[in-house]
Amino acid sequence: MNYLRPERLDALARAHALGTLSPRAARRFARVVASSADAARAVAEWQGLLSTLEEGAPGSPAPRARVWDAVQQRLFEREAPARAAAGASRGASSGAGWLRWPLALVAGASLLWATLAWRPQTFGMEPLSGAAPASYVGVLQDPQGRPLLATSARRHGLVLTVRLLRPVAPAPGQALTIWAWSDTDSTPHRIGDWTAAGSTTEVALPTQAETLLGRMTHLGLSLETAAAVPSAPTRPFIAEGPCAKVW
């Protein structure tokens, strides 16, 4: 059956969003949605329409405090042993020699792409336009006021390019972690981390830089435990600086 014929797709998307497909049909259609952008868009369109039916509907009492406690318990109570196991697993897999060459190829291609995109003049090429692309840019200085790190992320990009301007050598098990905060909310939020000691690294962002950095005015760099995913810096910043919109 061709699920992607427009009329059929719309009917399935409507039923999927509404929740009226049988469990078996729902599972089958979920696979279609996962593999087809058209199907995902069709479902999202119906979900958006149905969500308007929430407006003006009656509320309920707030959930009791035990709900949040239970969520935290389920997610984080056994976190430490799980992370240790994950770290051990990463250590074991790092010995897989067959992965090294493909990974090196991917890393090399990524570096080439980043260099072409960021500094095309390295290869004797010029940017297509004289204007720099709309980006979030930061230059972080150490406590002595010396530039330590430059960062750049295209406004709608999913990558933060970080370039160490002076060597920083994380100890084994440590990661360089970048944080951002705003003038109105001084709470630092973790943006990403990396362990490579190379001068230029691309840090993947989970969503567009605009969403993550749009209201941020400051960036900070700290050294954190690599296996941990801290929600707040656990150590002093080794560099700080402004986060500026360049457009």
Partner 1 sequence: MARRTDQPDNEDLARWLSWVALGDRRAFEQLYRATSTYLMAIAWRVLQHRDLAEEVLQDAFVKVWHSAGLYDARLGLPMTWLINIVRNRAIDLRRSRANSLINPHGDGGGDAALESLATPGAGPEQWLDAAIHQTGVQECMGQLTAAQRQALALVYYQGLTHVEAAQALEAPLGTTKAWVRRGLDYLKACLQGRGVVAS
Where along the sequence are the contacts to partner 1 (CB under 8 A)? 11, 14, 17-20, 23, 40-41, 44-64, 66-68, 70-71, 74-76, 187, 189-192, 205-208, 211-212, 214-215, 229, 231-232
Which two structure tokens, joined as six digits, stand for 106?
Answer: 């991917």
Shortest Å distance, C-beta 154 to partner 1: 16
In the complex with partner 1, which residue's Cβ is closer, 4 or 99? 4
In the complex with partner 1, which residue's Cβ is closer, 90 or 166? 90
Shortest Å distance, C-beta 135 to partner 1: 18
Shortest Å distance, C-beta 18 to partner 1: 6
Q: Which of 205, 171, 175, 167 is nearest to 193 (CA)?
A: 175
In the complex with partner 1, which residue's Cβ is closer, 65 or 131? 65
Shortest Å distance, C-beta 159 to partner 1: 14
Torsion of CA 143, 114, 180, 137, to 10 degrees: 70
Residue 189 phi, psi dihedral angles, 5° rounding:
-115, 135
Question: What's the rounded Cα separation, in Å, for the pair 220 and 206?
Answer: 19
Q: How far, in whole angstroms, is CA 171 from its chain's centroid?
A: 24
Q: Are 223 and 110 in contact (CB under 8 A)?
A: no
Residue 153 phi, psi dihedral angles, 5° rounding:
-140, 125
Shortest Å distance, C-beta 196 to partner 1: 18
In the complex with partner 1, which residue's Cβ is closer, 1 or 64? 64
With 0-12 / 13-18 / 19 or more C-beta atoms within 10 angstroms meaning exposed / middle / buried, residue 60 is exposed
In the complex with partner 1, which residue's Cβ is closer, 182 or 200? 182
